[in-house]
Structure 1
Protein backbone atom coordinates (compact mmCIF):
# COMPACT_ATOMS: atom_id res chain seq x y z
CA UNK A 1 0.00 0.00 0.00
CA UNK A 2 2.97 2.33 0.55
CA UNK A 3 3.85 1.89 -3.12
CA UNK A 4 0.42 3.06 -4.25
CA UNK A 5 0.18 5.94 -1.81
CA UNK A 6 3.60 7.14 -2.98
CA UNK A 7 2.45 6.92 -6.59
CA UNK A 8 -0.64 8.98 -5.76
CA UNK A 9 1.48 11.59 -3.99
CA UNK A 10 3.75 11.92 -7.05
CA UNK A 11 0.72 12.42 -9.32
CA UNK A 12 -0.07 15.68 -7.51
CA UNK A 13 -3.84 15.23 -7.84
CA UNK A 14 -6.32 17.81 -6.63
CA UNK A 15 -7.98 17.34 -3.26
CA UNK A 16 -11.30 16.70 -5.02
CA UNK A 17 -9.86 13.85 -7.13
CA UNK A 18 -8.06 12.30 -4.13
CA UNK A 19 -11.32 12.40 -2.17
CA UNK A 20 -13.14 10.72 -5.05
CA UNK A 21 -10.50 7.97 -5.18
CA UNK A 22 -10.70 7.55 -1.40
CA UNK A 23 -14.48 7.20 -1.49
CA UNK A 24 -14.30 4.68 -4.32
CA UNK A 25 -11.70 2.54 -2.55
CA UNK A 26 -13.66 2.72 0.72
CA UNK A 27 -16.84 1.63 -1.05
CA UNK A 28 -15.06 -1.32 -2.67
CA UNK A 29 -13.62 -2.36 0.71
CA UNK A 30 -17.07 -2.18 2.29
CA UNK A 31 -18.59 -4.30 -0.50
CA UNK A 32 -15.84 -6.90 -0.13
CA UNK A 33 -16.34 -6.99 3.61
CA UNK A 34 -20.09 -7.44 3.22
CA UNK A 35 -19.60 -10.24 0.70
CA UNK A 36 -17.21 -12.00 3.08
CA UNK A 37 -19.67 -11.70 5.95
CA UNK A 38 -22.54 -13.10 3.86
CA UNK A 39 -20.38 -15.99 2.61
CA UNK A 40 -19.44 -16.81 6.21
CA UNK A 41 -23.08 -16.73 7.34
CA UNK A 42 -24.19 -18.96 4.47
CA UNK A 43 -21.43 -21.43 5.27
CA UNK A 44 -22.41 -21.37 8.93
CA UNK A 45 -26.07 -22.05 8.11
CA UNK A 46 -25.02 -24.98 5.89
CA UNK A 47 -22.96 -26.44 8.76
CA UNK A 48 -25.84 -25.94 11.17
CA UNK A 49 -28.23 -27.76 8.82
CA UNK A 50 -25.71 -30.57 8.38
CA UNK A 51 -25.29 -31.00 12.13
CA UNK A 52 -29.05 -31.05 12.59
CA UNK A 53 -29.28 -33.91 10.11
CA UNK A 54 -30.82 -32.19 7.13
CA UNK A 55 -27.91 -33.07 4.83
CA UNK A 56 -27.01 -36.49 6.17
CA UNK A 57 -27.38 -39.48 3.83
CA UNK A 58 -30.63 -41.44 4.23
CA UNK A 59 -28.96 -44.35 6.06
CA UNK A 60 -27.33 -42.03 8.54
CA UNK A 61 -30.66 -40.30 9.17
CA UNK A 62 -32.28 -43.64 9.95
CA UNK A 63 -29.48 -44.52 12.36
CA UNK A 64 -29.78 -41.12 13.97
CA UNK A 65 -33.53 -41.50 14.61
CA UNK A 66 -33.06 -44.98 16.10
CA UNK A 67 -30.77 -43.59 18.79
Structure 2
Protein backbone atom coordinates (compact mmCIF):
# COMPACT_ATOMS: atom_id res chain seq x y z
CA UNK A 1 0.00 0.00 0.00
CA UNK A 2 1.00 3.64 -0.09
CA UNK A 3 1.75 3.33 3.64
CA UNK A 4 4.64 0.99 2.76
CA UNK A 5 6.40 3.52 0.51
CA UNK A 6 9.61 4.74 2.17
CA UNK A 7 11.29 6.71 -0.65
CA UNK A 8 10.31 8.28 -3.96
CA UNK A 9 12.30 9.81 -6.76
CA UNK A 10 10.40 12.19 -9.01
CA UNK A 11 11.44 13.58 -12.36
CA UNK A 12 9.48 16.59 -13.62
CA UNK A 13 9.82 17.76 -17.20
CA UNK A 14 9.20 21.35 -16.04
CA UNK A 15 10.04 22.62 -12.54
CA UNK A 16 7.13 25.07 -12.81
CA UNK A 17 4.83 22.04 -12.33
CA UNK A 18 6.25 21.41 -8.85
CA UNK A 19 3.47 23.23 -6.97
CA UNK A 20 0.69 21.28 -8.68
CA UNK A 21 2.61 18.03 -8.32
CA UNK A 22 3.28 18.68 -4.64
CA UNK A 23 -0.43 19.26 -3.95
CA UNK A 24 -1.34 15.91 -5.53
CA UNK A 25 1.54 14.15 -3.77
CA UNK A 26 0.33 15.49 -0.40
CA UNK A 27 -3.13 14.00 -1.00
CA UNK A 28 -1.57 10.56 -1.50
CA UNK A 29 0.80 10.90 1.48
CA UNK A 30 -1.10 13.08 3.99
CA UNK A 31 0.81 11.93 7.09
CA UNK A 32 4.50 11.09 7.38
CA UNK A 33 5.33 11.29 3.68
CA UNK A 34 8.24 9.18 2.47
CA UNK A 35 11.66 10.64 1.77
CA UNK A 36 11.62 12.26 -1.65
CA UNK A 37 14.03 13.53 -4.26
CA UNK A 38 12.53 15.72 -6.99
CA UNK A 39 14.47 16.94 -10.00
CA UNK A 40 13.78 18.65 -13.30
CA UNK A 41 14.86 16.55 -16.25
CA UNK A 42 14.26 15.95 -19.92
CA UNK A 43 12.34 12.70 -20.01
CA UNK A 44 12.94 9.97 -22.58
CA UNK A 45 9.34 9.79 -23.77
CA UNK A 46 6.55 12.34 -24.12
CA UNK A 47 5.47 12.47 -20.48
CA UNK A 48 5.42 15.27 -17.90
CA UNK A 49 6.36 13.28 -14.82
CA UNK A 50 8.00 10.03 -13.78
CA UNK A 51 7.82 8.62 -10.25
CA UNK A 52 9.88 5.77 -8.84
CA UNK A 53 8.77 4.42 -5.47
CA UNK A 54 10.54 2.11 -3.04
CA UNK A 55 8.36 0.26 -0.55
CA UNK A 56 9.32 -1.77 2.50
CA UNK A 57 7.15 -4.56 3.82
CA UNK A 58 8.63 -6.62 6.67
CA UNK A 59 8.27 -10.38 6.31
TM-score normalized with structure 1 length = 0.28
Which one has a larger percent helix, Structure 1 or Structure 2? Answer: 1
Where is the strand percentage greater, Structure 1 or Structure 2?
Answer: 2
* Higher relative contact order, structure no. (Cα contacts within 8 Å, ≥ 6 residues apart): 2
- Compute the TM-score of the two structures, normalised by the length of structure 2: 0.30
